[in-house]
Chains A and B, each alone.
Chain A
């Protein structure tokens, strides 16, 4: 069951490589922002599951919504001549690191407890 997401990732990468999908170069920056947003959501989801506050509806809607909004924000910024994508990069980047840090801490906590139990 745990390996299902990893399998999904592998399948997704395979589809992406095999399928002849190309995005016009001008939109490729939006895709990269969307990827960042998606990564952020994934790590947010993992963290929530470790905190036992995971809600699949929130997670799924957050994933697609964040991804779209990030791309949209970058697009609007491009139209206005404001580097709004930087805001998205900073916001998502900071959250990404925070989430990873929390996940790491929780993992260490659990490992510590298990060791205590073992003793």
Chain B
């Protein structure tokens, strides 16, 4: 009987300590996991606020830049006056700017939307819209004579990089996710047939499971200008 008392007593002591440790650890664990979400951590909140403010001021600056560029081109047009040679030059400059992507442009064209497909099992990698898919579509459009192309509102210029950054795609240093709506200004029929040609880019995307919409001919598409810096060469 004495051993049983001893057993019960020592087991009680031990289970008391064990219970205490388990409870502390449990509390700790719950605390740690709640960290990963946006909890009441003041530092995290402050950083989020700073980030939002920076993004806001960034987009304000971009809008201002676009307005100023518009003013410059109006002044340029005014300064040419009635001189025919200057007007031709001005027109050429305008065309080049459109091709370079540094001035806003409007015109007829096509739109196409790429969506991630629904994965059935292990083929997640296949049905996602990858950076190279977007590149292929854009190259196809440019080859077919597109004069201006934009992806989700970001103008594609000669120095635009389209590449994968984790789950999203980075275009002109902007991170965007699916669906990707691609607008292209140019001859709508030529652009559309370039995309829908049998065995063409959209066919191969659909075969893989990517949800690519039918290209839509549009009467007027207006595109913003490219607002980033254009750099030549590998200097960063």
**Total interface residues in chain B, CB < 8 Å:** 29
Contact between chains at A5 and B8 (CB < 8 Å): yes
Asked if A60 meets B13 with Cβ closer than 8 Å, knowing A12-B20, A31-B21, the reply is yes
Q: Does A89 contact B (CB under 8 A)?
A: no
In the bound assembly, the distance between CA atoms of A9 and B199 in angstroms comes to 69
Contact between chains at B28 and A9 (CB < 8 Å): no
User: Using an 8 Å CB-CB cutoff, how does the interface string of A20-46 with B read, 1 for contact, 0 for none?
Assistant: 011101001001101100110110011
A-contacting residues, B1-36, CB 8 Å: 3-29, 31-32
Contact between chains at A13 and B20 (CB < 8 Å): yes
Asked if A39 meets B10 with Cβ closer than 8 Å, knowing A1-B4, A28-B28, the reply is no
B24 to chain A: which residues have CB within 8 Å?
Answer: 16, 21-23, 31
User: Which A residue sits closest to B23, measured CB to CB?
Assistant: A16
Contact between chains at B25 and A8 (CB < 8 Å): no
Which secondary structure dominates where chain A touches chain B?
helix
User: Which B residue sits closest to A28, measured CB to CB?
Assistant: B28
Q: Does A15 contact B (CB under 8 A)?
A: yes
Contact between chains at B14 and A45 (CB < 8 Å): yes
B-contacting residues, A36-62, CB 8 Å: 38-39, 41-42, 45-46, 49, 54, 56, 59-60
B15 to chain A: which residues have CB within 8 Å?
Answer: 5-6, 8-9, 12, 42
Residue among A4, A25, A28, A46 making CB contact with B12, cutoff 8 Å: A4
Could you tell me the distance in whole angstroms from the C-beta of B196 to the nearest C-beta in chain A?
A: 57
Contact between chains at A39 and B5 (CB < 8 Å): no
Could you tell me the distance in whole angstroms from the C-beta of A21 to the nearest C-beta in chain B?
A: 5
Residue among B5, B10, B27, B29 making CB contact with A1, cutoff 8 Å: B5
Contact between chains at A16 and B22 (CB < 8 Å): yes
In the bound assembly, the distance between CA atoms of A22 and B24 in angstroms comes to 7
Residue among B7, B9, B14, B22 making CB contact with A63, cutoff 8 Å: B14
Could you tell me the distance in whole angstroms from the C-beta of A74 to the nearest C-beta in chain B?
A: 14
Asked if A25 meets B19 with Cβ closer than 8 Å, knowing A4-B12, A56-B6, the reply is no
Contact between chains at A17 and B16 (CB < 8 Å): no
In the bound assembly, the distance between CA atoms of A15 and B7 in angstroms comes to 23
User: Which A residue sits closest to B10, measured CB to CB?
Assistant: A56
A49 to chain B: which residues have CB within 8 Å?
Answer: 7
Contact between chains at A13 and B25 (CB < 8 Å): no
Q: Residues on B close to A: CB < 8 A?
A: 3-29, 31-32
